[in-house]
Chain A
Amino acid sequence: MLLQLISHSLGWLSAQASAKAQDALIAVLASGPVPQHIAFILDGNRRYARSKHMQIKQGHTDGFYTLRKMLEICIHMNVRCVTAYAFSIENFKRSPEEVDALMDLAEDKLLELCQKGDILDKYGIKLVVVGRRDMLPERVRVAAEKAEELTKNNNRAIFNLCMPYTSRDEIATAVQSTIRERLEDEDGDDTITADDIEAHLMTSLSGSPPLDILVRTSGVKRLSDYLLWQCSEDTQLQFSSTYWPEFGMWDFVPIILDYQRKVWSKA
C-alpha cells in the first residue's frame, strides 16, 4: 500500500518535472527567432495503430491528442499560426467505416476544443476550417461553424484546420474567385497576377502569414496536394520518420533549431 503511494507520488513528481523541463526548453527556444507559421501533415495514424496492435480509430484519437499538444507547444513558443492537414478530399476514398469514424472524431473534438477553458479559449486561438466544407456531413459542418463562431474574435493565434482539403482545389477556387471579382469590378483591369491569386487562397483569407516550415511525419517525402502554392518558395520542408501520434519535443526541437540557423545565416 505504502509502496503504491510512493510509486504514485514519484510518478507525479517526474511528470511535473518533465512538464517544467519542457516549459523551460520552450522558453529557451522562444528567446531566439521563432517561425510565424508552421504546417503539419498528420501522417501515420493508421500505421502507428497497427504497430501497437490497436484499432485504427484509436490511432486517429491519439493523433488528435498529439495535435492538441503540438498546438499548445507552438502557442507557448509564440508561433502565430498553425495549419494542420486533418483530412484530404482524397480520403473520402477510404472505407465508409473509417470515414464515419473520422467524421465522428472531428465532430466530437471540434466541440471539445471550443469549450470554455479549453485550449482555443485559453490561448486566444481563432479556429478556421479550411477546405470544401460542403463535402462534410451536416453534423460536422455545424460543429465547425460553431467552433469558428465562438473563436472568431480571438486574435493571439490562428489555427487552420484543413478538412476536407486539397491544394489544387484551393488554387482552382482562388482562380475562380479572382476572376469573378475582377468581372464584377467595372474598373478592374484584365490582368491577373500571382499575388492576386495568392490573396484569394483560403489560408490568406484567414489571415495567415507566409509559411515558414512544413512538417510531414511517418517518413513520407511528398506534399500530397497540401499547401503546394504556399510552400513552393522558401518554406523549409521537414520530413520526420516518426509516426504522427508519437511526434513530440524530441522531433520538434531540431526543426526549430534548423529554422533559427537559417534566420541567423541570412542576417
Chain B
Amino acid sequence: MSWFARLILAVLHVVYRLVLVFKSLSTRFRAQPSPLTAERSKLPSHLALSLSPNLAAGEESNEKYMLDSVEKVAGWCQVLGIRRLTVYDREGVLVNSSLDIRRRILPAQAEEADDSPVECDIRYPLTPPPSDDAESRPLSPHAHPIVPKLCVTTIRFPMPSSRSKRRASVSRTTLKRRRVARNDEHAEESPLTLHVVSYKSGKPAVAATATTLLRDHIHRKTSDVSTCISIDTSIQNLNAILEGEHGFPSPDLMIVHRKPPVGQMRSPVELGGFPPWQTRLTEIFCDPYPRATSWWVGSSSRVEPSSIKEAEFRRALDEFADAEMRLGK
C-alpha cells in the first residue's frame, strides 16, 4: 500500500507545483509598491540586508552581485535617512570586500566635500591579545576587560559637508547652524553607519564572549583569590557586549534577498546563519516570488545572480510600515 501512498503524494506535489507556478505568474499583476520617497507611517532606523550566493554561479559573479546590492541599498538608505545598515553574507565575502564597499559608497560623498579631506572611519574587528601571554593580562581586577572577538566590521560614512560645519564652535550660533543643517539634509544624503557581518559575527561571537567572560574570571580568581567575583552572564551584560561598540545592534527590518535554486519557484525564508542574538524583534521580509525569469532555463550554468531591485526594497518598506508591534502586551 505504501507505493500507492507515494503515488498520491507525487500527484499532490505536481498539483502544488502548478499552484506555485500560477501564483508566481500572477505576482506580475500585483500592485506596485509605493514609490521610494513616499510617506510611510514608519521607517526602520536600522535595516539589515541578508544576501546568499547563488551556488550555481561563480565566485566572482556572486561577489559582484553582492557588492552591487550593497551599493544600491546603501544609496536608498541615504536618500530615505535610514542611518544604520547591516549587510550579511554567510561566508564573509562582503567582509573581505570592505574596502571595495567603502570605495563604492564614498565617491558620491567625496564630490560634495570640497575643502576638507573626506574621512571615513573603518573599525575592523579587534584581535584580542593572546591569552597565554602574561604581559597582556590586566594586572588589576578593575582594569578594562579584554574585548571578545566579535568579527563585526563597522564603516562610518560622515555627513558630506559636516566637517566644515563643525568648525563653527561658538554656542550662540548652534541654533543657526542646526537650522542650516536641517535644510541641507533634504538636499544631501544623510550619514550612514554600515556594519558588515558574516556567520562568525553570530554564534561564534557569542561563544567568544562566553570564552572571554570565563578567562577573565579565571584570571581574576588567580590574581586575587580573596574576593569572590561573580560572572555577569545576564541578558543585559551579554547585550551590552554583543550590541555594543564592537558588535552591532538589532535591526528593525531584515530583507533576505536570494534567488531560490533553479527549479524551485518559491521556498520559505531561511536565516542562513544571521547572528541570532540580534534577530529578536526584527521584521523579516523575503519576496516570496522573486522574478525568477530563468526558471524555465534548463542549464544552470546560465543562471546569473541578480542584485536587489528597487521594487523589492520598496515592498519591504511598505510591509514594515504596516507591521504592528505589541511587544508582549
Point out the residue from B5, B211, B282 that lies within 8 Å of A31, measured CB to CB: B5
Residues of B contacting A255 in the complex (Cβ-Cβ under 8 angstroms): 268
The digit string for B277-302, where 1 denotes a CB below 8 A from any CB of A, is 10111111100000000000000000
The digit string for B209-243, where 1 denotes a CB below 8 A from any CB of A, is 11101110110000000000001011100110000
A257 to chain B, nearest CB (A): 5
Point out the residue from A183, A198, A225, A265 that lies within 8 Å of B217, measured CB to CB: A183
Residues of A contacting B284 in the complex (Cβ-Cβ under 8 angstroms): 221-223, 237, 239
Residues of B contacting A197 in the complex (Cβ-Cβ under 8 angstroms): 203, 206-207, 210
Q: How large is the interface on B (under 10, 10 to 19, 20 to 34, 35 or more residues)?
A: 35 or more
Alpha-carbon separation in the docked complex, A27 to B267 (Å): 24
A-B contact count (CB 8 A): 157
CB pair A168 B280 closer than 8 Å: yes
Residues of B contacting A73 in the complex (Cβ-Cβ under 8 angstroms): none
Question: Is there a chain A Cβ closer than 8 Å to B179's Cβ?
Answer: no
CB pair B272 A233 closer than 8 Å: yes
CB pair B214 A179 closer than 8 Å: yes
Interface SS of chain A: helix, strand, loop or mixed?
helix
Question: Is there a chain A Cβ closer than 8 Å to B327's Cβ?
Answer: yes
Return the chain B residue nearest A95 by Cβ: B329
Question: Is there a chain B Cβ closer than 8 Å to A206's Cβ?
Answer: no
The digit string for A192-212, where 1 denotes a CB below 8 A from any CB of B, is 111011100000000000000
Alpha-carbon separation in the docked complex, A254 to B17 (Å): 10
Return the chain B residue nearest A237 by Cβ: B269
CB pair A179 B233 closer than 8 Å: yes
Can you spell out 14 A-B residue pairs with CB atoms less than 8 angstroms apart? Answer: A27-B5, A28-B9, A178-B210, A179-B217, A183-B214, A192-B214, A194-B207, A222-B281, A223-B281, A224-B281, A228-B277, A232-B203, A236-B270, A238-B268
Residues of A contacting B270 in the complex (Cβ-Cβ under 8 angstroms): 233-237
CB pair A225 B13 closer than 8 Å: no
Interface residue stretch chosen among A1-9, A86-94, A152-160:
A86-94
Point out the residue from B206, B261, B276, B319 that lies within 8 Å of A221, measured CB to CB: B319
CB pair A93 B280 closer than 8 Å: no
Alpha-carbon separation in the docked complex, A257 to B265 (Å): 13
Alpha-carbon separation in the docked complex, A265 to B17 (Å): 13
CB pair B276 A94 closer than 8 Å: no
Residues of A contacting B13 in the complex (Cβ-Cβ under 8 angstroms): 257, 260-261
CB pair A175 B238 closer than 8 Å: yes
Alpha-carbon separation in the docked complex, A27 to B12 (Å): 13
A41 to chain B, nearest CB (A): 13
Question: Is there a chain B Cβ closer than 8 Å to A220's Cβ?
Answer: yes
Asked, given contacts A220-B323, A225-B281, A232-B273, whether A192 binds B211 with beta carbons under 8 Å apart, the answer is yes
The 5 residue pairs across chains A and B that have the minimum distance between CB atoms: A90-B328, A31-B5, A194-B203, A176-B233, A232-B276
Alpha-carbon separation in the docked complex, A91 to B261 (Å): 39
Question: Is there a chain B Cβ closer than 8 Å to A105's Cβ?
Answer: no
Question: Is there a chain A Cβ closer than 8 Å to B204's Cβ?
Answer: yes
Q: Chain B residues in contact with chain A, CB under 8 A?
A: 2, 5-6, 8-9, 12-13, 16, 131, 202-204, 206-207, 209-211, 213-215, 217-218, 231, 233-235, 238-239, 261, 263-264, 267-277, 279-285, 319, 323-324, 327-329
Return the chain B residue nearest A191 by Cβ: B211
Alpha-carbon separation in the docked complex, A31 to B324 (Å): 40
Question: Is there a chain B Cβ closer than 8 Å to A56's Cβ?
Answer: no
CB pair B276 A228 closer than 8 Å: yes
Residues of A contacting B271 in the complex (Cβ-Cβ under 8 angstroms): 231-233, 235, 237
Residues of B contacting A262 in the complex (Cβ-Cβ under 8 angstroms): 267
CB pair B207 A190 closer than 8 Å: no
Residues of A contacting B2 in the complex (Cβ-Cβ under 8 angstroms): 31
Residues of B contacting A213 in the complex (Cβ-Cβ under 8 angstroms): 268
CB pair A190 B215 closer than 8 Å: yes
Return the chain A residue nearest B320 by Cβ: A221
CB pair A91 B328 closer than 8 Å: yes
The digit string for A162-193, where 1 denotes a CB below 8 A from any CB of B, is 00000111011001101100110000001111
